[in-house]
Amino acid sequence: MKKVWVCLAVSLFSLLAGQSLADTTSSQPEHLNQVVAIVNSDIISNQELDKQEALIRFNLASSTATLPPEAEFRKQVLQNLINQTLEVQMADKVGVSAEGLNVSDAIERIAKNNKMTVDDLKKKLSASGVDFGYYQQQIKQQMLVSQLAQQEVGGRIRITDQNVENILNSEAYAAQNQGQYHLQDILIALPDVPSSEDVQTALNKANTILEQLNKGKDFQQIAIGQSNGQEALKGGDLDWRSLQELPQIFSEPVQKMKVGDYYGPIRTANGFHIIKLLGKKGGETQHFSTQTDVRHILLIKNALFSDEQLKAKLEKMRTEILQGADFAKLAEKNSQDPLSASKGGSLGWVKPGFLTPPFEKAMNALKPGEMSGPVESQYGWHLIQVQDRKQVDDTTEYRNQQVRRMLFQRQYDEKFQNWIEEMREASYIKIFDKNL
């Protein structure tokens, strides 16, 4: 398989070399057209690497991270870009599509989380030399890769009810009461089947990093420049995780560490880790969720009626209901949802996240007794009425879900790294710049 990619890559490089000769008279700087790397059938140019570096610098600007030297940083950015390219290629291969991804909503959430408007975000990106169109493209790609990883990596993870019960009944769970730890991680990766020389080289590098940390070098800077972990370009930040979410081999040292301490090297299946504890918090509390008693009338899209005609039908029914008609009888007669029509359109008491997002968003905006106008979802057009709301103590169910997530996350990081390494080993990757 690699021989095929080699031939294709050589052909691509020859073609690009010819293209660069043709472009020498253009006003665009020559270095932008230079090929930095070939990843199977795709190329990475200097221009793309420049854009990616500017974007990552923008993402890191609000952190306290001290960036490594330019050459080291750029090399890390390229490796990240190679991984992204492989992920997008895999998405195309297995049929994971970006269709239906709402990039605008994602960008609005990012802006809101950073306490700014989308216009503010655009201005900040522009001031940092990041094109907004490129930013949108990268967000879309991240969402696509997230879907792919859920399928490809998530499919490798198996968690049973018994696994969950074992955690809940363990002394460790009771002792730490789901306390959470904020960690940073530096990973010096090993190949899938490392030789003794590979292991020694990685261990020597990990010990060298520990010496640098002991001399006061910034942990984030080293993570950005040298870590092979998926969060390297975020300074190795693993965010807040409970003890069960962490790799099991981290559990004992983390509980003994004080905030600010670092520890390592820790040997795992995929390499040597050095971790730093940034914070601790914890304690299980009672959990409540808001449940909604909701009913609806659904008209499914079809070739006989346009969207406007379906909306007009629902508007007519809405007017009739407001004038005294019975919602349940209209639902029984007109709704095309076979599961709820016979119940007067009732979906019963629904939990958060149970319904499709457009439906749930419209439902959450209604007070008990209120009715929406026509709402579009992937199922068709809905007329929604909220009948009641209540707060439900779902601590037990919530706790089980959290434990399931913990077990998933514990396996996910290692399997994600293995997945990336598998793709790299099965691919043709050629880097042309000897400094990278």
Q: Beta partners for 371?
A: 385
What value does the mean pLDDT take over residues 81-97? 92
pLDDT of residue 6: 35
225-262 pLDDT tens trace: 999 998 999 999 999 988 778 888 888 899 889 899 99
Q: Is 90 exceeded by the pLDDT of residue 300?
A: yes
What value does the mean pLDDT take over residues 275-295? 85
Q: What is the mean pLDDT of the chain?
A: 87
Beta-carbon contacts of residue 123 (< 8 Å; ≥ 6 apart): none
Cα gap 147→150, rounded to integer Å: 5
167-220 pLDDT tens trace: 888 877 766 565 789 999 999 999 989 999 999 999 999 999 999 999 999 999
Share of the chain above pLDDT 90, in %: 64
209 alpha-carbon distance from chain centroid? 29
154 alpha-carbon distance from chain centroid? 12
CB 91, CB 141: distance < 8 Å? no
CB 292, CB 350: distance < 8 Å? yes
271: region left, alpha or beta (phi > 0 left; psi from -120 to 50 alpha): left
Find, among 352, 351, 336, 354, the residue nearest to 296 by Cα.
336
Token pair in block for residue 2: 């690699």
Cα gap 262→279, rounded to integer Å: 12
Q: Is 80 exceeded by the pLDDT of residue 37?
A: yes
303: pLDDT confidence band, cut at 50, 70 and 90? confident
pLDDT of residue 167: 87
pLDDT of residue 102: 85
Euclidean distance between the first and final Cα of the chain, in Å? Answer: 25
pLDDT of residue 252: 84
Cα gap 254→171, rounded to integer Å: 17
What value does the mean pLDDT take over residues 98-108? 85
Q: Is 60 exceeded by the pLDDT of residue 18?
A: no
Cα gap 246→275, rounded to integer Å: 11
What value does the mean pLDDT take over residues 321-327? 96
pLDDT of residue 284: 60
Q: Which amino acid is at 63?
A: S
Find, among 247, 280, 262, the residue nearest to 186 by Cα.
262
Find the range with the poorest average confidence among 76-90, 110-124, 240-254, 367-381: 240-254
344-392 pLDDT tens trace: 999 999 999 899 999 999 999 999 999 999 999 989 999 999 999 999 9
Q: What is the pTM of this model?
A: 0.57
Cα gap 155→149, rounded to integer Å: 9
Domains in the chain, start-ordered, CATH in brackets? 2-152 (1.10.4030.10), 161-285+397-425 (3.10.50.40), 288-393 (3.10.50.40)
Between CA 41 and CA 48, with CA 45 as vertex, the angle to 5 degrees is 110
Exposure letters 58-96 (e unless 16+ CB within 10 A, then b) = bebeeeebebbeeeebbbbbbbbbbbbbbbbbbbeeeeb
pLDDT of residue 4: 35
Cα gap 352→265, rounded to integer Å: 42
